[in-house]
Amino acid sequence: MDSRFKLPTIEMPDLPLPPSIAAELTAARERLTGRPALQRLYANCFPNTLQTTTKRMDDGTTFVITGDIPAMWLRDSVEQVMHYMPFAREDEALRNLLRGLVRRHAVCLLHDPYANAFNEADNGNHWDAHDQTDMSGWVWERKFELDSPCFSVRLAYHYWKATDDASVFDEPLRAAMGAVVRLFGIEQHHAERSTYRFMRTNCPALDTLAHDGAGTPVGYTGMVWSGFRPSDDACAYHYHIPSNMMAVVALRQLQEMMQAWGAPADELERVQTLEREIDAGIRAYGIVSHPEFGEIYAYETDGLGHHCLLDDAGTPGLLSIPYIGYAGADDPIYRNTRRFALSAANPYYYEGRAASGIGSPHTPERYIWHMALSMQGLTAESQEEQLRVLELLERTDAGTGFMHEGFHADDPSVYTRPWFAWSNSLFARFVRELLESGVLAPREET
């Protein structure tokens, strides 16, 4: 491996599990009686983020690495803890951890709202020290992915809703939210107003931006430009539709928070206007007529007549539209889009001897992502599909007791990233929702 890509190590302390999480594991063991494989997976995956990737910092913030990469991705760190939110109201230890993560996100956004991943300190660690962009020692990687600041809003909003703890609405968080709004406004007019550039050399084309780091041309749509997808791969066309959908949802969530903290009317009106402009752009430019599936959402567009029709395993993607809250699972265009995404018409949908599901250009061909299967289950409308997906997840862990990134459609023992905490968390959330809904009931032990 190129010496630029040797990963530094980071010492993660062995934190005691908050009481509510320990209690959930005990309860789930009973509720999963007669399902030993699922018991083991849940017991491993549900606490994985807290046990292996979470660190309390001296400043009271919380730092959460992805797993096998010693940096905190804004997106990943939020999804790594979302399945803990229902337990936070009554558990002070868990509230402190989550509140600390909200505050860490504010620190990161105020330092650089364009960055996707951060270090625990100003240590100069980078994925590639030769990236041509406005880097700093705090930033691990500076790929601008529109979904990243949206996830920061998502974290603050869901923490507040889960706990009623308005103490997180402090000056740093309010300033960070203001930085996000300004960023969105600039990147609605990328060519005219943005100074963001990113180039990486000696790398695959998906790891760098064309046109001297400015990306391929776009026309104005009202949507927000994004350099990279949630997979960390470069956009083909820089209006990433699922991320813009998430921006609409984030702006709605931000309005609710702003009303709670008493933001001035002109600031609230700016956020409302942004929301309307982005949503109108999605409706005008992000829907295409497919000869087989009818009206579907595109994955990307440039506002100049070009569209990218695919779905990628990462969140936000087209499959995850109900999960991020943009439209319901019963939305007619979503239903058409879902049928497209889970078909051979999607170039990253793979069918193999072991499983069928969505993969990504980020991993080798015919590699299905466990996260995509978990998301398929979380957004399924029928119990039959939910249980079918759960069975696929159970039998593709390669006997490890954990979820991975991608695995070969014909052979689950061939996989990427054995320690990928987000994948474990999303699987745990799916299982818990099945337990809470009653879809999963105890079996008689044999």
pLDDT at 4 over 70: no
Quick check: helix, strand or coil at residue 124?
coil
Quick check: helix, strand or coil at residue 417?
coil
pLDDT band at 13 (very low <50, low <70, confident <90, very high): confident
Q: In whole angstroms, give the CA distance from residue 166 to residue 145.
A: 28
| Burial annotation 404-427 (CB, 10 A radius, 16+ → b, else e) | bbbbbbeebeebbbebbbbbbbbb
Calculate the CA 205 to chain-centre distance. 22
pLDDT for 7 equals: 66
pLDDT for 6 equals: 54
Q: What is the mean pLDDT of residues 197-203?
A: 97
- Name, in order, each residue with C-beta under 8 angstroms of 79's C-beta and a sequence gap of 6 or more: 151, 315, 422, 425, 426
- Partnered with residue 20 across adjacent β-strands are none
pLDDT for 5 equals: 42
Q: List the one residue out of 208, 145, 141, 143 whose CA is nearest residue 5.
A: 141
- Cα→Cα distances 254→64, 230, 261, Å: 23, 21, 11
**Average pLDDT, rounded, for the chain:** 96
Q: In whole angstroms, give the CA distance from residue 346 to residue 339.
A: 9
pLDDT at 54 over 80: yes
Q: What is the mean pLDDT of residues 355-370?
A: 98
pLDDT for 9 equals: 67
Residue 119, φ and ψ in degrees, nearest 5: -90, 165
Give helix 36-45 / helix 421-437 axis angle, nearest 10°. Answer: 130
Cβ(443)–Cβ(33) below 8 Å = yes
Residue that the structure tokens 């703890």 belong to: 165
DSSP string, 195-258: ----B-SSS-GGGS-HHHHT-S-----SSPP-SB-TTSPBPSSSEEHHHHHHHHHHHHHHHHHH
pLDDT tens string 116-168: 999 999 999 999 999 999 999 999 999 999 999 999 999 999 999 999 999 99
pLDDT at 311 over 80: yes
pLDDT for 15 equals: 80
pLDDT for 128 equals: 96
pLDDT band at 12 (very low <50, low <70, confident <90, very high): confident
32: tokens are: 């999963």
pLDDT at 307 over 70: yes
Calculate the CA 251 to chain-centre distance. 17
Q: What is the mean pLDDT of residues 13-20?
A: 88
pLDDT band at 72 (very low <50, low <70, confident <90, very high): very high
Alpha helices in 84-198 (DSSP H): 92-111, 147-163, 171-187, 190-193
Domains recognised in the chain with CATH numbers: 28-58+348-446 (no CATH), 75-346 (1.50.10.10)
Cβ(154)–Cβ(109) below 8 Å = no
Give helix 421-437 / helix 19-31 axis angle, nearest 10°. Answer: 60
With 0-12 / 13-18 / 19 or more C-beta atoms within 10 angstroms meaning exposed / middle / buried, residue 352 is middle
Q: What is the mean pLDDT of residues 353-379?
A: 98
